[in-house]
């Protein structure tokens, strides 16, 4: 059974829910989904069933798919998506491979003749791919379909090589499986031996790497032609256009490496992926060097040299987004507003069910979908959109994702200040939770400053013993205690303890909690 957009209703294996189709290839369809047990995004590859015409075909496809899962799971490198699960159940009419979901952009997006990559960037991308291939070839397994569409660039510039699904283990004791008419590679990047259906070796992947490197440096494919036959003929017999003819500033040795990778005979190519990496090494920036300041402007392209310039560097601090400009807001009661209310009601029902199961990641994503549509239709500062964003930020916080909830609370604070002023309830709520996020992330100084600012606003608006004031005073005191500032912590917690004794009595849970902290501060 399926719902709209052919999304199956029933979870795969009772736990993997398919959300949206993200790609289709020769072996099947890839979906973005969720693991309901571990509350995380996953990628689910669904084997094609239209090629199954008999029980024998089904068994061969199941064997092939099982092998794909096992092969990919054995490639232990961060440049290959991790395999989580393989679902193969007779009669094999549906086969699923559950993998790590990668957030990234196809390498194809960054290959443009009008905006060439800086030479170190092209070398860095090729070097990362060579590193992945070295780990795969050691198993040994050949990718067979290396191309820009099978390479993703993550936000931090790391490269991920996808789809080892048509790979074959290079061992004589492994029986060959029937191809079932499924194409084995992409003709623009096929080695000459692949075009002749001869034995494929790791050198075949190096040839495809040469095609990629040529394209990364020049923005143009190594060979070109209107038909598949034209490409096949050129792969077999033609010399590629020299890189330095298309881009004279490319170093001669780098052009020489491209030609070695594109040699017609496998034995004339580099001996292995490690040798290819060594050939790229002189063109990579050394550790400690700065990012290049010259070259074309690359819209949104992450820096792939980061991992070489700053190896094993910690994650950089997140850049907090600025509040976007107010968009057009339609009048209440309009068609867009009515449709949005229905969408919100549906989303809230779904989110409430997910929260019961503590599936915070999926709940936050479900709200993001309706937030995006509401922002487009009603404006980013529509009250209902802001309320949804506030709920989503709270869900992220409860789920422990403080890095994502912090910029949301900061931006919501700015948005609500426009309509409510600095002492509005929503402003105070969002500023307080932004401080909570900073405290959880270890930004103690900034968190204390923000807690105190919010407490000052609350005292002016309400009183020192309102519920939120009590919570803020407790947060300030415990944070000071945690940072070892015993004197300042006592100055906050002693009067708080006295107030709690009056409000709730000395035996109340909250009173006893503060008493315990004070005893700890006294006794060390």
For residues 90-128, one letter each, b for 16 or more C-beta atoms within 10 angstroms of the residue's C-beta and e for the rest, the string is eebeebbbbbebbebebbeebbeeeebbbbbbbbbbbbb
Cα separation, 126 vs 283, whole angstroms: 11
Q: What is the pLDDT of residue 7?
A: 61
The per-residue pLDDT string of the chain (524 residues; one tens digit each, 9 = 90 and over) reads: 455 456 666 888 889 999 989 887 666 788 999 999 999 999 998 876 665 667 777 777 777 777 767 777 888 899 999 989 988 777 776 788 899 999 999 999 999 888 899 999 999 999 999 999 999 998 888 898 899 999 999 988 999 998 876 555 454 444 444 344 344 668 889 999 888 877 788 999 999 999 999 999 999 999 987 888 888 899 998 999 999 999 999 999 999 999 999 999 999 999 999 999 999 999 999 998 887 655 555 556 889 999 999 888 887 665 444 333 333 333 334 445 667 788 888 889 999 989 988 888 889 998 998 998 888 888 888 888 999 999 999 999 998 888 889 999 999 999 999 988 888 999 999 999 999 999 988 888 999 999 999 999 999 888 889 999 999 999 999 999 888 889 999 999 999 999 999 999 999 999 999 999 999 888 86
Q: Are strands 28-35 and 16-24 parallel, antiparallel or unpaired?
A: antiparallel
Pure H helices in 239-305:
243-246, 252-261, 273-280
Place of tokens 């143009």: 220
Q: What is the pLDDT of residue 291?
A: 73
Contact of 26 with 39, CB cutoff 8 Å:
no
Question: 253 catalytic, yes or no?
Answer: no
Contact of 42 with 61, CB cutoff 8 Å:
no
Q: What is the pLDDT of residue 391?
A: 94
Q: Are strands 141-142 and 95-100 parallel, antiparallel or unpaired?
A: unpaired
SS3 26: coil
- DSSP symbol at 282: G
Report DSSP letters for 427-490, one per residue.
HHHHHHHHHHHHHHTT-HHHHHHHHHHHHHHHHHHS-TTSHHHHHHHHHHHHHHHHTT-HHHHH
Cα separation, 295 vs 290, whole angstroms: 14
Q: For the sheet with 159-161, list strands across it.
A: 104-106, 151-154, 159-161
Q: What is the pLDDT of residue 327?
A: 35
Among candidate residues 145, 163, 411, 436, the one labeled active-site is 145
Of 334, 327, 516, residue with least CA distance to 418: 327
Cα separation, 524 vs 519, whole angstroms: 8
Check the CA dihedral 401-402-403-406 and report its sign.
Answer: positive
- DSSP symbol at 38: T
At the second CATH level, the architecture of 335-523 is Alpha Horseshoe (1.25)
Cα separation, 452 vs 433, whole angstroms: 13
Give whole-number Cα distances, 259 to 72, 200, 204, 242, 279, in Å: 30, 20, 14, 8, 12
Cα separation, 323 vs 375, whole angstroms: 13
Cα separation, 81 vs 73, whole angstroms: 9
Assigned token pair, 476: 């300030």
| Class of 104-170+193-287 in CATH | mainly alpha
Same fold flag, 4-100 and 335-523: no
Cα separation, 71 vs 131, whole angstroms: 17
Residue 260 neighbours by CB distance under 10 Å: 16
Contact of 45 with 96, CB cutoff 8 Å:
yes
Q: What is the pLDDT of residue 326?
A: 35
Cα separation, 195 vs 178, whole angstroms: 18
SS3 159: strand
Contact of 405 with 397, CB cutoff 8 Å:
yes
CATH 3.40.50.460 fits 4-100, yes or no: no
Of 183, 197, 151, residue with least CA distance to 48: 183
Report DSSP letters for 78-140, one per residue.
TTSPPEEEEEE-TT-SSEEEEEEPP-EEEGGGG--TTSPPPHHHHHHHHHHHHHHHHHHHTTT
Of 252, 144, 134, 121, residue with least CA distance to 207: 144
Record the pTM: 0.69
Q: What is the pLDDT of residue 515?
A: 92
Q: Domain coordinates of the chain in residue numbers?
A: 4-100, 104-170+193-287, 335-523
């Amino acid at each position: 059974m399926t719902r709209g957009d052919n999304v199956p209703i029933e979870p795969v294996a009772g736990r993997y829910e398919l959300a949206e189709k993200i790609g289709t290839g020769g072996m099947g369809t890839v979906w973005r989904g969720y693991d309901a047990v571990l509350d995380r995004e996953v990628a689910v590859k669904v084997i094609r069933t239209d090629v199954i015409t008999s029980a024998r075909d089904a068994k061969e496809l199941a064997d092939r798919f099982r092998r794909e899962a096992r092969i990919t799971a054995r490639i232990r490198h961060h440049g290959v998506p991790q395999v989580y699960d393989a679902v193969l159940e007779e009669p094999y009419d549906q086969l699923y491979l559950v993998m790590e979901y990668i957030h990234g952009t196809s390498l194809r997006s960054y290959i443009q003749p009008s905006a060439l990559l800086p030479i170190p960037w092209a070398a860095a991308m090729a070097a990362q791919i060579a590193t992945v291939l070295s780990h795969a070839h050691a198993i040994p397994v050949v990718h067979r379909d290396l191309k820009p569409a099978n390479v993703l660039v993550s936000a931090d510039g790391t490269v991920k090589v996808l789809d080892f699904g048509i790979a074959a283990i290079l061992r004589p004791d492994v029986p060959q499986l029937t191809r079932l008419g499924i194409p084995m590679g992409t003709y623009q990047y096929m080695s000459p031996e692949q075009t002749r259906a001869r034995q494929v070796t790791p050198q075949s992947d190096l040839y495809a790497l040469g095609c990629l490197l040529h394209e990364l440096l020049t923005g143009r494919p190594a060979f070109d032609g209107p038909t598949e036959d034209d490409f096949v003929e050129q792969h077999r017999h033609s010399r590629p256009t020299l890189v330095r003819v298309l881009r004279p500033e490319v170093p001669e040795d780098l052009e020489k490496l491209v030609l070695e990778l594109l040699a017609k005979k496998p034995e004339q190519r580099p001996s292995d992926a490690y040798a290819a990496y060594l050939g790229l090494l002189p063109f990579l920036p050394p550790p400690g060097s700065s990012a290049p300041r010259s070259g074309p402007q690359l819209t949104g392209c992450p820096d792939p040299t980061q991992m070489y310039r700053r190896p094993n560097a910690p994650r950089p601090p997140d850049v907090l987004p600025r509040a976007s400009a107010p968009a057009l807001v339609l009048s209440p009661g309009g068609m867009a507003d009515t449709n949005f209310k229905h969408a919100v009601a549906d989303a809230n029902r779904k989110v409430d069910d997910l929260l019961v199961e503590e599936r915070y990641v999926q709940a936050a994503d479900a709200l993001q979908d309706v937030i995006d549509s509401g922002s487009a239709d009603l404006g980013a500062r529509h009250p209902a959109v802001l309320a949804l964003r506030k709920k989503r930020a709270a869900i992220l916080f409860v789920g422990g994702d403080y890095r994502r909830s912090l910029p949301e609370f900061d931006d919501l604070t700015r948005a609500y200040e426009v309509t409510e002023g600095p002492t509005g309830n929503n402003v105070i709520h969002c500023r307080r939770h932004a401080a909570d996020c900073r405290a959880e992330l270890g930004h103690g100084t900034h968190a204390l400053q923000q807690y105190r600012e919010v407490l000052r606003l609350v005292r002016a608006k309400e009183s020192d013993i309102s519920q939120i004031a009590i919570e803020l005073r407790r947060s300030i005191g415990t944070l000071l205690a945690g940072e070892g500032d015993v004197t300042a912590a006592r100055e906050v917690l002693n009067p708080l303890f006295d107030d709690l004794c009056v409000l709730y009595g000395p035996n109340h849970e909250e009173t006893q909690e503060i008493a315990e902290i004070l005893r700890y501060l006294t006794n060390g």
